Structure 1
Amino acid sequence: MTRDIVIDQKWVPSACTLPTAEQPLRLAEFDALFAEAVRAVRREERERLRLELVPAPEHAARAAGLTVRENGCCSFFTFTLTVADGGLTLDVRVPPEHVEVLDALQARAETARESNRTGAPAGVRRPA
């Protein structure tokens, strides 16, 4: 069974050169990475988001591949993948004019992480 992926316009800025037909697939890749690998989401600065990932080689490789491809269509992103002190982090920076995109990225990461933690489908929260 497939699930429709809704693309929020804040997520896809006009500067994006990824063909429209490929955008839902890329979004699904980000959602999967967020759900499976993100342990914490922190907004370090207005223009910088930090994602703490589960420190595993497969998550580092997946994040690296995805961010390289994303930078190819949305070159305003600066991604920094860091392996240090037994941890794995992905920092995402944007220029001031693209903060809305970072806001949307943060919201998706938090939603996917939470849905994985609770076992609920993305966007569905279980009662406490």
Structure 2
Amino acid sequence: MSDRQLTTDDTWVPDACTLPTAERPLRLSEFDQFFRDAVRGADRLSAQHLRLRLDGAEQVEETARDLTARESSCCSFFAFDIARHSPDLLTLDVRVPAGHVDVLDALAERATSVRSQG
């Protein structure tokens, strides 16, 4: 993903996404804010599995649960799992089927790039 795409450009959003086109820039902006504020690191566990290490704050967990629930409703191919390992460690696992690895690639790159810009 180029720097140009780190705006609210949704060209990487897959056709399988049912979120109305007009709402996509807002959702991307919400995820960008979440990545800047909450993501502390990212680990690619496999081609189909990304783990985001998050700030352990209660509000971060609430935001993660809200965003992932809304994203699951329009992009049903995502599987999200949020786990609290300790008061300071929260993880968000994102899995996709093989046919959507490119979407996970873009999400991982966006999370890392936006985080480093913040």
Common topology (TM > 0.5): yes
Equivalent residue for 2:66? Answer: 65
Residue equivalent to 2:3: none
Distance 1:7 1:65 in 2: 20
CA distance in 1, matches of 2:58, 2:95: 23
TM superposition score normalised by structure 1: 0.84
CA distance in 1, matches of 2:80, 2:8: 24
Alignment-derived partner of residue 99 in structure 1: 101
Report the equivalent of 1:5: 8
Other-structure match for 2:23: 22
Corresponding residue for residue 32 of structure 2: 31
Determine the C-alpha separation between the residues in 2 that align with 1:59 and 1:91: 14
Instruction: Report the TM-score, using the length of structure 2 for normalisation.
Output: 0.91
1:85 CA displacement: 2.8
Identity %: 50
Q: Which structure ranks higher in relative contact order (CA pairs < 8 Å, sequence separation ≥ 6)?
A: 2
Q: 3-state SS of the aligned residue for 2:100?
A: helix
Q: Which of 1 and 2 has greater Rg?
A: 1
Unmatched segments (≥5 aa) in structure 2? 1-6
In 2, the alpha carbon distance for the partners of 1:7 and 1:111 equals 15
Whichever residue aligns with residue 112 of structure 1, its letter is V
Equivalent-residue separation in structure 2 for 1:94 and 1:40 (angstroms): 19
Q: For residues 34-90 of structure 1, what are the alpha-carbon distances to aligned partners after superposition, in whole Å with 9 as ceiling and x for unaligned?
A: 000000011011100000000000000000000000000000000000001331000
State the Cα RMSD in Å. 0.9
- SS of 2:43 mapped into structure 1: strand
